[in-house]
Amino acid sequence: MRTQVAIIGAGPSGLLLGQLLHKHGIDNVILERQTGEYVLSRIRAGVIEQTTIDLLDEAGVGARMHEEGLVHDGVQICVDGVRHRISFKEMTGKAVMVYGQTEITRDLMDGRAAAGAPTIYAAYDVSLHDIFGETPTVTFRADGKTQEIACDFIAGCDGFHGVSRKSVPPNAIATHERVYPLGWLGVLSETPPVSEELIYVRHPLGFALCSMRSPTRSRYYIQCGLAEDIDAWPDERFWEELRPRLDDEGRQRLVTGPSIEKSIAPLRSFVAEPMRFGQLFLAGDAAHIVPPTGAKGLNLAASDVRLLSQALVEHYAEKSDAGIAHYSSRALARVWKAERFSWWMTTLLHKLSDDSFEQKIQLAELHYLFRSQAAATVFAENYVGLPF
């Protein structure tokens, strides 16, 4: 088999890249370790920036998002039972959209199927060869046979645990990491959201987040220990832990119900540098992880894909390799802005230790955010979309 770009991973990064390349007549094959059903069963975050919306439109998969997505003009932050609102519209003139990553993945999969572009699911033992040479190849096992794809470029869109980043010689890559001593326990339930806007909660009992997927479907999170066993969290226990973290109005409006999904996600900041190695490019979670507090994971993946697709289009259509040469530095400049914002929001809102100094500083920092027009503007600018 031969293609122009071999894409490893059919998460949002790989599917979006494949769709954009296809639109520009660039051949690509996606190799995915899991089945399509498994990929669609993963519940992930759901806040998208305008630049991500624009890119999904450009890829031709935005129709359902515009119908079903919820436009949010602001966000609420509840500190020890008192709610504050930050208006994105007033501060920046912009808004974000709440639309689940699972739905985006489904729209991208449907778009790819309609385009007739190939995705090989259940592709095992994917292995990258000759990434620094002229003729890179990818081998894998599917349908019981070992197969090979020769290509011009490989896009490593295979997430944090993927094979692409691990295929790079250790001396060619630097990694930077912070592992937080906690995770998020998330619950999806068929109940109306507690508020029309997201509420990020800072409370002495720990962080909570009230989010949503639709006017009838809520997504809630509370911070939990890393060693927590999901079976020790029946729904009642979850609601009992969430309720006291809310303000009076939130407690009154909270509608509880059976969970339709429940999972624990660890909190991590991670960056691999550079993001290009010869003919291999990393994009999305394969190159970087942000803790979910800033809602940046999917948006960062989309901005990598935007830069990478432009670079590849320039290569094939304009015979210019400038975009390829600058891909890593351009992507990383944005990555570090998102890392900073996500780290800051995480340290601002979670109970990270019993250290009273840390807790007092958190409160002082939050009060500064609510009092200072400048601080609130910077917050809003970062939340609605980082500059390129």
Residues 4 and 101: beta-carbon distance below 8 Å:
no
91-150 positions binding ligand APR, by CB under 6 A: 101, 123, 126
Q: Is 367 a residue of the active site?
A: no
Residue span binding ligand PHB (CB under 6 A) among the ranges 39-47, 57-65, 145-153, 237-245 = 39-47
- The residue count for binding ligand APR (CB under 6 A) is 29
* Phi/psi at 117 (5° precision): -85, 140
Residue 307 as a binder of ligand APR (CB under 6 A): the answer is no
Interface residue with ligand APR among 7, 21, 32, 167 (CB under 6 A) is 32
Q: What torsion do the CA atoms of 78, 299, 94, 387 make, to the nearest 10 degrees?
A: 110
**Closest residue by Cα to residue 128 from 331, 12, 286, 273:** 286
Q: Is 72 a residue of the active site?
A: yes
Which one of the listed residues 72, 203, 288, 315 is annotated catalytic?
72
Interface residue with ligand APR among 3, 5, 6, 11 (CB under 6 A) is 11
Residue 79 as a binder of ligand APR (CB under 6 A): the answer is no
Residue 47 as a binder of ligand PHB (CB under 6 A): the answer is yes
Residue 335 as a binder of ligand APR (CB under 6 A): the answer is no
Q: How far apart are CA 105 and CA 108, in angstroms?
A: 5
Report the residue closest to ligand PHB, judged by CB. 211
Which one of the listed residues 12, 136, 193, 292 is annotated catalytic?
292
Residue span binding ligand PHB (CB under 6 A) among the ranges 108-116, 251-259, 265-273, 292-300 = 292-300
Q: Is 204 a residue of the active site?
A: no
Residue 191 as a binder of ligand PHB (CB under 6 A): the answer is no
Residue 69 as a binder of ligand PHB (CB under 6 A): the answer is no
Q: How far is the CB of 10 from ligand APR (least distance, A)?
A: 5
Q: How far is the CB of 109 from ligand APR (least distance, A)?
A: 11
Which one of the listed residues 296, 315, 327, 350 is annotated catalytic?
296
Residues 289 and 11: beta-carbon distance below 8 Å:
no
- The amino acid at 245: R
DSSP assignments along 294-335, one per residue: GS-HHHHHHHHHHHHHHHHHHHHHS---HHHHHHHHHHHHHH
Q: Which is closer to ligand PHB, CB of 43 or CB of 55? A: 43
The DSSP H or E segment spanning 23 is helix 12-23
Give residues with Cβ within 8 angstroms of 134, minimum separation 6. Answer: none
Residue 298 as a binder of ligand PHB (CB under 6 A): the answer is no
Q: How far apart are CA 202 and CA 179, in angstroms?
A: 20
Residue 20 as a binder of ligand APR (CB under 6 A): the answer is no
Q: Is 84 a residue of the active site?
A: no
Q: Which is closer to ligand PHB, CB of 13 or CB of 211? A: 211
What does 18 bind: ligand APR, ligand PHB, none (CB cut-off 5 to 8 Å by kind)?
none
Q: Give the sign of the dihedral formed by CA 92, CA 93, CA 98, CA 99.
A: negative
**Closest residue by Cα to residue 7 from 124, 149, 142, 175:** 149
Q: How far is the CB of 236 from ligand PHB (least distance, A)?
A: 22
- The amino acid at 204: P
Cis omega (within 30 of 0) for bond into 274: yes
Residue span binding ligand APR (CB under 6 A) among the ranges 81-89, 241-249, 297-305, 366-374 = 297-305
Residue 219 as a binder of ligand PHB (CB under 6 A): the answer is yes
CA 239 to chain centre: 26
Q: In what order do the strands lie in the sheet with 280-282?
A: 119-120, 28-31, 5-8, 153-156, 280-282, 276-277
Give residues with Cβ within 8 angstroms of 349, minimum separation 6. Answer: 77, 200, 201, 202, 207, 293, 362
User: Three-state SS for 49?
Assistant: coil
149-188 positions binding ligand APR, by CB under 6 A: 157-159, 161-163
Q: Is 296 a residue of the active site?
A: yes
Residues engaged in binding ligand APR (CB under 6 A): 8-14, 31-34, 39, 44-45, 101, 123, 126, 157-159, 161-163, 284-286, 297-298, 301
Which residue ranges make up the site for ligand PHB (CB under 6 A)? 45-47, 198, 209, 211, 219, 292-293, 295
State the catalytic residues.
72, 200, 292, 296, 383
